[in-house]
Amino acid sequence: MKILHTSDWHLGRSLYGRRRTAEFEQFFDWLLGCIQSEGIDVLLVAGDVFDTATPSNQVQELYYRFLCRVAATGCRHVVIIAGNHDSPSLLNAPKGLLRSLNVHVIGCMTEAPADEVLVLDDGDGRPQLIVCAVPYLRDRDIRRAEAGETIEDKDRKLVTGIGEHYRLVAAAALTSVRSTAGGSIPIVAMGHLFTTGGQTGQGDGVRELYVGSLGQVRADIFPECFDYLALGHLHAPQRVMGSDVRRYSGAPLPMSFGEAGQQKIVLVVTVDSRGLTVEEKAVPCFQRLATVAGDWDAIQRRITALKEEGVPVWLEVMFQGDELVADLQERVRELTAGTALEVLRIKDLRLAAGTLSRAVWEETLDDLEVSDVFGRCLLAHQIPAEQQEELMALFQETVNSLHDEDTPEGDASHER
């Protein structure tokens, strides 16, 4: 049996105003080819299918068309869980209809943990794999708020609640194993969360959700009965505490210029008589991104070299020189005019490193995360450093609760 693990598609994501529909379409074409060539039996999508809770009709059409195409490849099952960017109700709405295509969707934590346990059959209708499809666990689902709680109390309850939920789901999975013929079916678990020690990147929108260790879970919360753990949430592919069988597949496309240097992958898990093996499959680059940084001479040389390559590239230009270049944008536009290079962002870091008032005038919301804006407010009002961490944690908790409301009004904050 072969399983393909992917996550964090973020369908509908744009990059500084540039829509990325063509990239998503090319990725899906490639993924379908990979499913066919590898003989994939089960496709696991570990959350953040969409970039927002209110994806456009075009984006939803892209998603449903892909699921229909998967059904024609010979892949017997698709399992999709919701991530923190997804609307649980939007994902769950067509789940009954999608079951006819053997697409199993878990959009939110269920009342009975056993409902998140899926027994998947082989081509002859015999149980072949058990999947613990645990979606993104929202604070309101697993923690009861109490008056007078500290940030540490909330964090402890959150982590304890996540661990207890996985324990209950694992117990239900083991009951299913015992009830099947032979009792030796492999168990694969899914999740969308942040494990302690996970690597995040600039502009990935993940690390801004966490202050200190708030909301991060230890690797030891996952029961030992899981033969493989398919995680989503972190965009860089990585192992959990060095384990080959507890993995983040990462996002298949670079979600920001900070991810441009990452080799994006999907993971192919093979289960046979020898056990379980994991292979990384490199995802092609469908749209090249590049950051050009330095003083004006360095920027000019780099852009000239990229022009000579003749390959379409989206550029981020970061000026780091000491001299004043008042016409920086005009120079860059003139240098790239009539070429395959498209400049999406130009930023003068010399100005950003100056006084707060000067930096704020030069910055735009495209340069900032939600937490950055709040941080600017703390600095502007001269809040003592010892109070800033707790205030930032409270602010982030408020933002997360808005995301958890699963309404267009609540989720609008996610788009700044």
Q: What residues make up the domain containing 360?
A: 289-415
Among 223, 258, 282, the domain boundary falls at 282
Q: Can you say how many angstroms the Cα of residue 408 is from the centroid of all Cα atoms in its chain? A: 20
Q: Are 54 and 87 in contact (CB under 8 A)?
A: yes
- How far, in Å, are 14, 121, 222, 259 from residue 204 at the CA level? 12, 37, 25, 8
Instruction: Check whether residue 24 and residue 58 sit in a common domain.
Output: yes
Res 363: pLDDT: 52
Domain finish residue from 225, 249, 282: 282
CATH number of the domain residue 31 falls in: 3.60.21.10
On whether both 171 and 318 belong to a single domain, the answer is no
pLDDT at 361 (0 to 100): 39
Q: Which amino acid is at 23?
A: E
φ, ψ of residue 156 to 5 degrees: the values are -65, -45
- Tell whether 353 and 204 lie within a shared domain: no
Give the pLDDT score at 157. Answer: 85
| pLDDT of 196 | 75
Instruction: Report the pLDDT value the prediction gives residue 283, as an integer from 0 to 100.
Output: 98
User: Which residue among 236, 258, 282 closes a domain?
Assistant: 282
Same domain, 231 and 198: yes
Looking at residue 6, its pLDDT comes to 98
* CATH number reported for the structural domain that contains residue 318 in this entry: 3.30.160.720
Question: Within this chain, do residues 27 and 166 fall inside the same structural domain, yes or no?
Answer: yes
Q: Are residues 66 and 18 in the same domain?
A: yes
**Residue 170 sits in the same domain as residue 24:** yes
User: Do 295 and 380 belong to one domain?
Assistant: yes
What's this model's pTM, rounded to 2 decimal places?
0.83
Query: Is residue 61 domain-shared with residue 104, that is, in the same domain?
Result: yes
Pair 74, 154 in one domain: yes
Residue 405: count other Cβ atoms within 10 Å of its Cβ.
Answer: 14
Count of domains observed in the chain: 2
Distance CA 315, CA 346 (A): 9
Q: Show the low-confidence residues of the chain (pLDDT under 50).
A: 207-208, 210-213, 353-362, 406-416
End-to-end Cα, the chain, rounded Å:
43
Question: Among 249, 259, 316, which Cα is nearest to 9's?
Answer: 249
